Amino acid sequence: MRPTSLIADLEQPLIDLGAKPVHVRRLLRTWLNALPEDAGRSKPEHFLPQAVREALPGWRTMLDGLARLHSQHPGEDGSARLLVDLADGQQVESVLLQRDGLCVSTQVGCAVGCVFCMTGREGLIRQVGSAEIVAQVALARRLRRVRKVVFMGMGEPAHNLDNVMAAIELLGTVGGIGHKELVFSTVGDERVFERLPQGPVKPALALSLHTTKADLRARLLPRAPRYEPAELLARGEAYARATGYPMQVQWTLLRGVNDGADELDALVELMRGKYAVLNMIPYNSVPDLPFERPDWDEAAAIARHLHRRGVLTKLRQSAGQDVDGGCGQLRARAAGERPV
């Protein structure tokens, strides 16, 4: 269950050989910001001690081996799902999003067990190390530009907090990503509300709400902390006001489950006056799970209704849903295809 590699583990070998921290940061910046056309064009690093220069090829091979592209699945909407091999043979999914975004995974599997999620079905297999999280960004940048990173892939970032915070710090500094373009997504966890305000890089916050009813939320997200929805949003909003960027409230729209008038009325009350935006995402159907995706027109009508009643609502498509690859499905399918 131990993360395979911490960023400090990557830096230390070079420091032991005589590199200064500033040099290591420069090398990491080069690796993390490389574009497709940079392949094979790295310049000699004359500023480094010779022992470090000699060790660099092995170091770069180690970095590149943290996350390798297994397969790419483009969607009609301009997004693309990536199945990514980690060094120990585990796999995670990343998603290239429209407008230079990337969704990364923070765990292999997940312990929250949301009943509508493929990833939640297999439980937690292992944490994704901070360097492996950053490596997903480096890999994606070799395919296209990435200026926004959302931590909404496989896993619950709050359950891997040290690694996610370390990755956020690196991405928000040497990775050159604006702090509000880093989006920490969580079902809600006390440690998140304590730690996020203390970090040197403060990401935007997205809270997965999905329903206004605490009892229904406990059934849909069985191992999420038991917050009353109003309390959860109050905690998130305090952080949003402190950082100056609005809280994102995530609502996966499940036909017949959380799309009724009672839910929408309660949602209007909960969101009233909040420094927040509602992201409504029609569910991406998963075979064998008993949840249905509402029609796009139905979802659009719900979003318009909420908007008219004062809730800033963005209706979003689940990226690449036409490739039949909701979170965790590519990995599950590949695992099914692998010989055992």
Q: Which residues bind ligand SF4 (CB under 6 A)?
A: 110, 112-114, 117, 119-120, 154-156, 187
Strand partners, 84: 69, 92
**By the 8 A CB rule, do 154 and 110 touch?**
yes
Look up residue 193 and give its amino acid. Answer: F
Least CB distance from residue 219 to ligand SF4, whole Å? 13
Strand 124-127 versus strand 107-109 pairing type = antiparallel
Report which DSSP code applies to 321. Answer: G
Least CB distance from residue 109 to ligand SF4, whole Å? 8
Least CB distance from residue 125 to ligand SF4, whole Å? 12
Nearest-angstrom CA–CA distance, 279 and 158: 20
Nearest-angstrom CA–CA distance, 318 and 79: 10
Nearer to ligand SF4, 191 or 272 (CB): 191
Burial class (CB in 10 A: 0-12, 13-18, 19+), 272: exposed
Nearer to ligand SF4, 156 or 259 (CB): 156
Q: Which residue is nearest to ligand SF4 (CB)?
A: 120
Other beta carbons less than 10 A from residue 17's beta carbon:
17
Least CB distance from residue 121 to ligand SF4, whole Å? 8
Which residues are marked as active site?
Answer: 93, 327
Nearer to ligand SF4, 112 or 165 (CB): 112
Nearer to ligand SF4, 5 or 119 (CB): 119
Q: Copy the structure tokens of residue 285.
A: 């159907």
Rounded to the nearest 10°, the torsion over CA 263, 264, 266, 270 is 120
